[in-house]
Structure 1
Amino acid sequence: MENLSFFTAGDGSRHAYRMGGAAGKPVLVLSNSIGTTLHMWDDQVQELSRHFRVLRYDTRGHGASSVPAGPYSLARLGQDVTELLDSLDIERAHFLGLSLGGIIGQWLGIHAPARIDRLILSNTSPFLGPADQWDERIASVLHAEDMSETAETFLRNWFPARMLEARDPVVERFRAMLLATNRHGLAGAYAAVRDTDLRGDLARISRPTLVIAGQYDTVTAASHSELIAESIPGARLLVLPAVHLSNIEYPSEFLVAVLGFLSS
């Protein structure tokens, strides 16, 4: 396992990251779903590191990264990535983001295309309105007794019933991540999603893009991925028979698609 390292962003917040794979290989940045840490990629890192220098990080407010006061903006989440690349003297990288990570990826494709080689947007959306639902979630998570109810809601949205009913070990791993998430970090990230609408800007993304959707995703519906793929010139679309965490539910198919796209 790679060592946990830290860098300080321009606003003074401290961010955790891990870098693995042989020096000299192309860099691949992995960006996580809301409510998770860089460990959501644990099952993919070994194989990806055979081909890439893999850089994964904890989004601000999550994992071992600091929890600055919210709300967070999508621009700030995107700048965290470019500043991380700057701190490591990485001019350009492939980027794979899932859910919130995919929203960050869209922002980078629009606002920092010179930093991105190939872009993979998985189980994500350019817009998840209306805003009032996010205000309700922010209030709910900030006033809840603990994270248990929030965790159960996420898990129901992320995994098929068969995995939940079987208490699959991977579900328990994600339950632990959610229960350990700082409520203020989660609320800050909710605000970034609430305030995001990239639909009018997607056509500005010029980097080669692969969009991965979950056929049964109730969070970022497959129709959202279809819109992204239709809006970005030349983008490819892959729909897997998954719910929200395609990399977990269909790991082999996910890896084949990612490696095929990045090496093409």
Structure 2
Amino acid sequence: MILIHSLGVDWRMWEPVMERLAAGRRVFAYDVRGHGAAAGAPAATDMSGLGTDLVGVLDTLELERAHIVGLSIGGAIGQTAAVLHPERVASLALLGAPDHPIPEAFESRARAGETDGMDAQIAPTLTRWFTPEALAANVWGVRYARERIRCFDPADWAATWRAYKTLDVRDRLRDFPAPTLVVAGELDAAAPPTFMSGVAGRIPGSVYRELPRAPHMQSLEQPGPLADILEAFLPAG
């Protein structure tokens, strides 16, 4: 199983669910280009490149196929890889993940990082990602995400948002043969249930689940219920 994180953080956003998912499974999480240990790598220019990076991870791990789980841009990367190389994807779990971009919003976020700096991105980003209760309690997931955004390189931030603008998978997974799960957070302000049910509707045979009380950062605020859904969907052993 390969876990792909959201834009602006790194592989550690999966730590709250990894132990449970690793029961009977080999689980890997990597840093997307421009994030974490991959910060400063040659900038991503489009989603096809990020999808090809995922296939490169499979090659490096000597995995012919893998179950792909991605949140937000991580799910977009998984869908892109599934379009380019469906034979490499054993199943696909899309958590708050779009199948088409919002170009104006993505470009606005790219420019904001370049012109205003990363400290100015913390409040609007965390407000999209977490519930007011989690923000007020300043739980570990909030503290972790805040620090990742603060330390993020503005050039990597802008490049990734602009690569995200090139997402082109809508209606291209209609013949995708592998099992697909679509999970919407009930309280997700970035990819609400009405949006994610549309993603599920464009992938015939997909399973749609709604995660109660979950915002966009499902693994950081509702790890137990998310692990329940993923464990029910993914094979073990």
The alignment's TM-score, normalised by the length of structure 2, stands at 0.93
Q: Secondary structure at the match of 1:203?
A: coil
Match for residue 104 of structure 1 among 77, 89, 93: 77
1:169-225 C-alpha deviation (Å, 9 max, x unpaired): 321111111112221111111012212232231313221001100122111121221
Q: CA deviation at 1:66?
A: 3.8
Contact 1:97–1:103 under 8 Å retained in 2: yes
Following superposition, the deviation at residue 62 of structure 1 comes to: 0.6
SS at match of 2:234: helix
Task: Please state which structure has a larger fraction of its residues in helix.
Answer: 2
Match of 2:171 in 1: 200
SS of equivalent to 1:170: helix
Aligned equivalent of 1:38, options 8, 11, 21: 11
Aligned to 1:4: none
Higher strand share: 1
Match of 1:161 among 108, 132, 136: 132
Aligned to 1:255: 227
Paired AA for residue 55 in structure 2: T
Give the aligned length.
235
> Does residue 218 in structure 1 map to residue 189 in structure 2?
yes
Alignment correspondent of 1:60: 33
SS of alignment partner, residue 263 of structure 1: coil
Q: Shift of the alpha carbon at 1:228?
A: 1.7
Encode CA deviations 1:130-186: one digit per residue, 9 max, x unaligned. Answer: x23322222211122x31121221110011001111222321111111112221111
Q: What corresponds to 1:174 in structure 2?
A: 145
1:20 alignment counterpart: none
In 2 relative to 1, CA 69–83 (structure 1 residues): closer, same or farther, beyond 3 Å? closer
Instruction: Give the drift of 1:248.
Output: 2.0
Residues 126 and 224, structure 1, Cα contact 8 Å, conserved in 2: no
- CA RMSD, 1 decimal: 1.5
CA distance in 2: counterparts of 1:140 and 1:70, whole angstroms: 18
Q: How far apart, CA to CA, are the structure 2 residues paired with 1:53 and 1:231?
A: 30
Identity of aligned residues (%): 30
Residue 114 of structure 2 contacts residue 155 of structure 2 at CA under 8 Å; is this kept in 1?
A: yes
Q: What one-letter code is carried by the residue in structure 1 that aligns with 2:217?
A: L
Task: List alignment gaps of at least 5 residues for structure 2.
Answer: none
Q: TM-score, normalised by structure 1?
A: 0.84
Contact 2:51 2:80 in 1 (8 A): yes
| Higher RCO (C-alpha 8 Å, min separation 6) | 2
**1:88 corresponds to which letter in structure 2?**
L
Shift of 1:69: 4.8
